[in-house]
Amino acid sequence: MAIKFQYNKTSLQWLEKQLKIRVRSLPTIKNKESALRIEVKKTKEHLRKIENELEEQLVKFEHLSSLWNEFNPELIAVKDVAIDTKKVAGVLLPVYKDITFDEKPYSRFNSPIWFQNGILLLKELAEIGIKVELEQMTLEQLEYARKKTTQKVNLFEKVQIPGYSNVIRKIKRFLEDEESLSKSSQKIMRKNIERAKREEEVA
């Protein structure tokens, strides 16, 4: 990263301000990265748990597979999914709240006895399936935020902070050299003026 600067005090002050901002905000960004890492781990564990739950339900569903030919899939549909949001380390995440189903009436006398249990099983499957999807979305968002935060930590720590420090050192050295040159030339000028005065007095 090329830092634009000039060898003067204004540029030096601006660079010192930029360096101070980065040094001050680095611990906060590191804390955010750490919090996101923990949250990613927790979300992965929770996702595994609900994926296993879904697998278990599908196994239950499997032994009824031959009966599902009799079932009318139009009897039940997902009407609405209520989602809340929460902030974790500055990242807005979806949170499952509730699910609403649209159930069509059916004749309990003319339909097989297991239809009621079938509808309950479908509700459970739909709810777990939606939770899995939301958790996958959450994990993607957290992974993306963690990646971006890690990039920012690396940019500050390995590029910008050393870069600004290096440029500040260069400008300070240049200004010190310029000042000592200026003092040396002033001394020489003073000596020349004094010599000229002495020569005049002698003449």
128 touches 53 (CB < 8 A)? yes
Q: What's the CA gap between 89 and 150, in Å, rounded?
A: 13
User: What local confidence, expressed as pLDDT, does residue 202 receive?
Assistant: 67
Contacts of 160 (CB under 8 A, 6+ apart): 1, 22
Residue at 156: amino acid letter: F
Query: Which residues are 100's β-sheet partners?
Result: 80
pLDDT at 141: 95
Written as six digits, the tokens of 8 are: 């003067």
Q: Which residues contact 137 (CB under 8 A, 6 or more apart)?
A: 94
pLDDT at residue 161, rounded to an integer:
93
Q: Where are the domains of the chain?
A: 9-193
Of the candidate CATH numbers 3.30.390.50, 1.10.10.10, 1.10.287.3240, 3.40.50.20, the domain formed by 9-193 belongs to 1.10.287.3240
State residue 122's pLDDT score: 84
Quote the pLDDT of residue 103: 87
User: What pLDDT, on the 0 to 100 scale, is given for residue 113?
Assistant: 75
76, two tokens: 């039940």
Task: Point out the residues of the chain with pLDDT beneath 70.
Answer: 1, 63-68, 182, 184-185, 192, 196, 198-203
The per-residue pLDDT for 71 is 73
The angle at the Cα of 82, spanning 78 to 85, to the nearest 5 degrees, equals 145
Helix axes 9-62, 115-154, angle to 10 degrees: 160
